[in-house]
Amino acid sequence: MILVFGANGQLGQELARAGAARGVALAGVSRAAADIADTAAVGQALAQHQPRLVINAAAYTKVDLAETEIEAARQGNEVGPQVLAQACAALSLPLVHVSTDYVFDGTKSGAYVETDPIAPTGSYGRSKAAGEAAVRAANPRHVIIRTAWVYGEFGHNFLKTMLRLAATRDELRVVADQRGCPTSTTDLADALLAIAPRLIAGDDVWGTYHFAGAGVTTWHGFASRIVAAQAPLTGRVPRVTPITTAEYPTPARRPANSALDCAKLARVFGLRAQPWEDETDRITRALVAAQLGKTAHVA
């Protein structure tokens, strides 16, 4: 049994779908059922499900609001992971914790490797970095997976925002001077379930890994791919205009370079993500087809 905390989030829902497709015994716990910062609730969930592996897909992910909701970010991204890691350690349970590219400052010219020094630039990144440190300190039987630019069919994400805007606007102005690796929740969930058997078996593969979509693009390139993929289905062809970060100021400063080198995970586990373009096309078509189906059904 694998127990997933954060079951109602976009990754948690994808893990449930992937687990069902793979025939994996998997249970999910929502935040309403067990806030990971609540020691008693975490302990109760572990006692109820008696898992052999725990995946923490719960997190505070509001990057800009984290600049003012500092304590909420700390509870979700530092305190919660610490509570979960301590509870798992007490039961000798391995823990998979999902982290982010935002622990880096984005000044490196090439892709970040796991051993590069972290230097988060905002409250969200600092809280995630602190969460990583808490997990490492509390439970030696851990795997931390840093990922980036996550999107999928569930929850709120950049791809779904672009589809919504493309349906009504003739121009989309999107930042073109930030680089990264769009990562589908499908790819990420499959990877987490693929490494699970080795963690349950106790293989000495503990540590920090990067896993992100294959290839690097900008937010503008990502948006352009989404718009191109939806156009044949919707007939909508809005312009996608590149802008600079300075033209789109946000409370939190984003890394100019979020590219992650995933060679370590490929070497240890034999896993590689799909090209981001292929996953973007597939998920865009699935979302648009579902929306058109709903529209037709209602009509």
| Contact assessment for residue 248 and residue 175, using Cβ atoms and an 8 Å cutoff | yes
What's the token pair of residue 248?
A: 């789109």
| Residue ranges with strand state E in the chain | 2-5, 26-29, 53-56, 95-100, 142-147, 150-151, 171-175, 179-180, 183-184, 207-210, 217-218, 239-243
**From CA 233, how far away is CA 284, in angstroms rounded?**
10
* Residues paired with residue 207 on neighbouring β-strands, in sequence order: 143
Residue type, 208: T
Active-site residue, 124 included:
yes
| Contact assessment for residue 16 and residue 55, using Cβ atoms and an 8 Å cutoff | no
For residue 52, the tally of other CB atoms under 10 A from its CB is 16
What's the token pair of residue 261?
A: 């080198």
Alpha helices (H) along 167-275: 185-200, 219-234, 263-269
Residue among 60, 112, 124, 209 flagged as catalytic: 124
Give the count of alpha carbons within 13 A of 149, CB side only.
29
Contacts of 8 by beta carbon, 8 Å cutoff, 6+ apart: 28, 30, 31, 32
**From CA 228, how far away is CA 249, in angstroms rounded?**
26
Residue type, 101: D
Residue labelled with tokens 């349970």: 93
What's the token pair of residue 44?
A: 């109760």
Active-site residues, by number, are 124
